[in-house]
Amino acid sequence: MSILDLRPEQKSSAVKDSIERHLVLGLGKSLKEATLQDWYRATALTARDVVTRRWLNVRPSNKELGKKRVYYLSIEFLIGRLLFSVLTSLDLVDEVREALADFGVSLDDVRKVEPDAALGNGGLGRLAACYLDSMTSVGIPAYGYGIRYEHGLFAQRFRDGWQEEYPELWLKTGNPWELTRPEKEYEIGFGGSVEGAEDNPENPGPAVWTPTDTVIATTHDVPVIGWRGEHANILRLWGARPIDPIRLSAFNEGDYVGAMSAKIQAEAITRILYPNDHTPQGQELRLRQEYFFTAASLADIVRRHMEQVGDIRKLSAFAAIQLNDTHPAIAVAELMRILVDLHGLSWHEAWTITRETISFTNHTLLPEALEKWPVALFGRILPRHLQIIYLINWHHLKNARTKDFADDGFLFRISLIDESGDKAVRMAHLAYVGSHHVNGVSQLHTELLKETVFQDLAKVAPTVIVNKTNGIAFRRWLHEANPALAKLIADTIGDAFMSDPTRLLDLERYATDASFVAQFEKIRQQNKTALAKVVREASNVQLDASALFDVQIKRIHEYKRQCLNLLEAIACYLDIKDEPHRDVLPRVKILSGKAAPGYARAKLIIKLANDIARVVNNDPAVGDKLKVVFVPNYNVSLAEVLIPAADLSEQISTAGMEASGTGNMKLALNGALTIGTLDGANIEIRERVGAENFFLFGMTADQVAEKKQDRVPGGDAVQHSQRLQRVIEALSSGLFSPDDDSRYHPLIADLLVFDPYMTCLDFEDYWRAQREVDAHRRNPAAWWKASILNTARMAWFSSDRAVREYADDIWRIPLSHPGNDR
């Protein structure tokens, strides 16, 4: 019997019993000696029991119905903390709060000791987590497949304003959410040789691959619960273990170190998350990670299919495999290997099944982010897969040659092998040709995909390019992160919006309702006060919660243009210094985000933010008119504090470069107004919330492309802007870096000469838009109306809507609750 089935008045005491049992019998602690950690674990285990029961209950019905399942393969799942979201979904928050209070323990304290599961870098990883949440809530049977990194994304600290990286230790105290499944482990091979591969590329037969080293993929299941516990799914994360823990022979000969080396090598595969987004490092270990988790996932998918259906030819009727970017693109070759080598299917049959089963999401247009693997390395680690890729390429090019436009240049561009330098496998090409659908993540991004990276492939491969604009899990980003606002909304329009986010639109009517506005504003104020406390503790800066909170939170990257934001901060500072008595609208510039450890320019931008903060925050002439803070160690939990406290959302990437953005959605949903460019999902956000409720500036993607072609130097724009000239002079003089005048000279040189991100060219228009923000803010009725309309009209950006679109158009999975998308 599950706690969920109990009558309301029985629930709390059942929860209490369960927590106590886990504490005493599971953890061996008495009530008296239990630490907060122990209470957290006992509470989490209690919640996990409920979720697991739900999962066991829904699983047989999926099996019986022979339902098609979605397999979402992602090298990152940025899930963050789970306790509160699980309790919210199960509607057990009050019962747990009460039960813990009876023990003299506060749920809010317990909640904070849960480590963040930071198994991702940024947008792509968080999207995977939101989609798994939504698939479960709308009732799509799904498995998420990823890696159980021992160390997630590094912890960020500042020393003298410079970023330093520290290892992340989320598993230090164990992970109460996971269930291990020793009976479902797989052997994953690497290296070795291939025998029996035929020369005939027209109809290649099976081959035998004998790997030299083998690593065991261990199974760690994190149950995922949908809204109100109606559905449940599994996030299956793979760990690595050596096949022979201590090579006994070596051990017996006294070579203890040698004996341990296999163990160390095997475990290294899942040891750490690569902290780069957008610049693949090309290391061997990364390729091993990619193959390891993809191969384990496919082995698991095929095993389940054979157990339940028994006919490999029917795979695509029961399995939709979604590749989250190219990191699992090796799935195309691995599935071919399984079908041809292990199941004896003909090449053509196998290719049809592969293409009917796999689809692929692209998340970036940046050329430097497109994954390529040197052929030599690839062949050493995955010899059979390299053969298969060459065979796929043979058919692909043969088909292309039949087109009259296919000259050598064209074939060169569409080949799965890049031959422009040392030969390399193009993973995006592989994913493209092996998929029935490829999707971009916003309208603009999808259009640009068709015009750029996939322009040539689109002329020859039958793959369909579609758009699936990203979405976010409202349950986490509104209900859980901003419970006071969620409650106000529920009290105002009823709580149906919790399961049907489109109902948020009903809130439009209250945008000018005085009592609603006052409560909305008060909640924002409380959230800002809570954030101010966090900032005081982290950075020792005192914030005035009545100032405008201007927030830019995301990975640090030149194309995201944190630098533009900082140049504006300098301009504001210089203005205040010029006229200290002028009435300016008080503003707090809040930035947060991590830089890839090897990305020197991004780290310099962090240092710049901290340098500006030091000068501005300590200048008595400035007072509360301007503050700048860079909050360290941005992660999901910190985002949950920052987002509900934001008045203004900075979405200022160079147009054409941000595939979608999802932080923009989270901020707008919580009522922040956006200052932004026509980039990624900003365009669609603006269309839906209304142009009058969005501060637009900057060049369009087309204009950016033009300027890039003309190679217009940033210096031109500086000549036309006195303001920007002064900013650059201040920066160059060492005003913010008295200890090192030349610290920012390289940055300035870039801006003036090349300015690839058009920071200078967009500066004046950005300044203008910011002053519009100031003016708007001075009119509270207008401001709050716009803010409330943002919340109401973000309804469409729910990830429930997004996964339903995938289910309808890509996965072809019928839905029990089709939902009424407006």
SS3 label, residue 79: strand
Q: How far is the CB of 165 from ligand 26W (least distance, A)?
A: 16
Single out the catalytic residue among 327, 555, 743, 776.
555
221: three-class secondary structure by DSSP: strand
Rounded-to-integer distance, Cα 751 and Cα 745, Å: 10
Q: What is the dihedral of CA 197, 201, 205, 211, to 10 degrees?
A: 30
> CB-wise, 384 or 557, nearer to ligand 26W?
557
676 near ligand 26W (CB under 6 A): no
User: If you ran DSSP here, which 8-state letter would residue 115 be given?
Assistant: P
**Per-residue binder mask for ligand 26W (CB under 6 A), 454-493, x = binder:** ----------------x-----------------------
Report the distance separating Cα 105 and Cα 96, nearest Å: 10
CB-based contact 327:371 (threshold 8 Å)? yes
Q: What is the DSSP string of 472-528?
A: B-HIIIIIIT-HHHHHHHHHHH-GGGGT-GGGGGGGGGGTT-HHHHHHHHHHHHHHH
For residues 269 and 288, is the Cβ–Cβ distance under 8 A?
yes
Contact segment (CB under 6 A) with ligand 26W among 143-151, 156-164, 271-279, 501-509 equals 271-279
Tokens read off for 15 = 């929860």
Nearer to ligand 26W by Cβ, of 2 and 276: the residue is 276
Closer residue to ligand 26W (CB): 123 or 176: 123
413 is catalytic: no
Nearer residue to ligand 26W within complex by CB, 35 or 279: 279
Q: Which is closer to ligand 26W, CB of 29 or CB of 363?
A: 363
Task: Compute how many other C-beta atoms are within 10 angstroms of the C-beta atom of residue 356.
Answer: 16
Residue 666: active-site member: yes
Is 554 part of the annotated catalytic residue set? yes
Q: Which is nearer to ligand 26W, 176 or 661 (CB)?
A: 661
How far is it, in rounded angstroms, from Cα 379 to Cα 390? Answer: 11
Is residue 594 annotated as a catalytic residue, yes or no?
Answer: no
Catalytic residue at 279?
A: no
Per-residue contact flags (x/-) with ligand 26W for residues 773 to 792, judged by CB under 6 A: --------------------
**Residue 123 binding ligand 26W, by CB under 6 A:** yes
3-state secondary structure 760-792: HHHHHHHHHHHHHHHHHHCCHHHHHHHHHHHHH
Which single residue is written with the structure tokens 């506005």?
517
User: By 3-state DSSP, what share of the chain in percent is helix, strand and coil, each rounded to 5?
Assistant: 55, 15, 30
Q: From the list 280, 328, 383, 698, which residue makes contact with ligand 26W (rule: CB under 6 A)?
A: 280
Angle between helices 8-21 and 36-64 (to 10 degrees): 120
Please, which of residues 318-357 interact with ligand 26W by CB under 6 A? 325
Number of chain positions touching ligand 26W (CB under 6 A): 21
Which residues make beta-bridge pairs with 194? 209
Scanning residues 624 to 663, which ones bind ligand 26W (CB under 6 A)? Answer: 658-662
Task: Give yes or no for residue 278 binding ligand 26W (CB under 6 A).
Answer: yes
Q: What minimum distance in Å lies between the beta carbon of 551 and ligand 26W?
A: 17
Using CB under 6 A as the binding rule, whether residue 441 contacts ligand 26W is answered as yes
Q: Binding to ligand 26W (CB under 6 A): which residues in 366-385?
A: 369
The stretch near ligand 26W (CB under 6 A) out of 122-130, 248-256, 402-410, 544-552 is 122-130
Q: Rounded to whole angstroms, what are the CA distances from 764 to 88, 270, 539, 675, 731?
A: 45, 47, 31, 14, 17
Active-site hit among 46, 219, 469, 662? 662
**Is the Cβ of residue 196 or residue 282 nearer to ligand 26W in the bound state?**
282
**Angle at the Cα of 278 (from 747 to 562), degrees rounded to 5?**
40
Which region, judged by CB under 6 A, interacts with ligand 26W, from 9-17, 159-167, 257-265, 270-278? 270-278
Minimal distance in Å, beta carbon 657 to ligand 26W?
8
Residue closer to ligand 26W by CB (options 53, 557) is 557
Residues that bind ligand 26W (CB under 6 A): 122-124, 127, 276-280, 325, 363-364, 369, 441, 470, 658-662, 680
Q: Provide the annotated active-site residues.
A: 363, 554-555, 560, 662, 666
